[in-house]
Amino acid sequence: MALRPVVKFPDPVLRRPTVDVTIFDDELKRLVTDMTETMYAANGAGLAAIQIGDGRRIFIVEGAVAGGNENDPPIVFINPEIEWLSDEKEISDEGCLSFPGIYVPVKRSLRARVRARDVEGVEFVAEGEGLYARAMQHENDHLRSKLLIDYVGPIKRQMIKRKLERDAAEEAEGAAADAE
Ligand code: NI
């Protein structure tokens, strides 16, 4: 069990194609545990495996966001497929752990139904609305290399890119200073 660094935009890892999970073993469970701890530590509503540099098709959604209680474990979606999206949509500000401090209005379906497997390989169907539906759509985007920044126009895109590049440079400088 370990906290893993979250890959930040514009790291090209976030655009890598992802692959289906074929082996449901203890190593997969350890990865999901790492994802869970990393998401909690960063106060995220969800996390995709590619955000910690693993190319398997896995995302998790925080328990309360998924309609449960505060202490419920996250829902684990492995090899997810969006089965249905409502025609009714809603625009709301969205954040992403790979875009720290950035919030972007994104139009999403109000309700979503997703078919996936759990960590044991058992198939299930999740249906949610509001924040849950939004989180499933956002995390599923990660598995097809689609990012928050793809929802904004060219000017805002440049601004976001510059800010995150500046943050990364400052972070690298800080790390270098700490190492001295
Ligand atoms: Ni995200």
> Rg (Cα) of the chain, in Å, rounded?
16
Comparing CA positions, the residue from 69, 75, 54 lying closest to residue 136 is 75
Pairing of strands 75-85, 111-117: antiparallel
Q: Tell me, what's the pLDDT at 128? A: 97
Query: Among the options 70, 139, 171, 173, which is catalytic?
Result: 139
Please give the average per-residue pLDDT across 10-34, as a whole number.
Answer: 97
End-to-end CA distance of the chain: 29
Please give the average per-residue pLDDT across 140-148, as a whole number.
Answer: 97
Q: Tell me, what's the pLDDT at 171? A: 86
Predicted confidence (pLDDT) at residue 180 exceeds the cutoff of 80: no
Separation of CA 17 and ligand 1 centre (Å): 15
Separation of CA 95 and ligand 1 centre (Å): 7
Predicted confidence (pLDDT) at residue 172 exceeds the cutoff of 90: no
Q: What CA–CA distance (Å, rounded) separates 30 from 8?
A: 22
Q: 12-152 is classed in which CATH architecture?
A: Alpha-Beta Complex (3.90)
Please give the average per-residue pLDDT across 149-170, as a whole number.
Answer: 94
Domain borders along the chain are: 12-152
Separation of CA 176 and ligand 1 centre (Å): 28
Over residues 31-75, the pLDDT tens digits come to 999 999 999 999 999 999 999 999 999 999 999 999 999 889 999
Over residues 97-119, the pLDDT tens digits come to 999 999 999 999 999 999 999 99
Comparing CA positions, the residue from 63, 56, 52 lying closest to residue 98 is 52
Separation of CA 57 and ligand 1 centre (Å): 14
- Please confirm, yes or no, whether 139 is among the known catalytic residues: yes
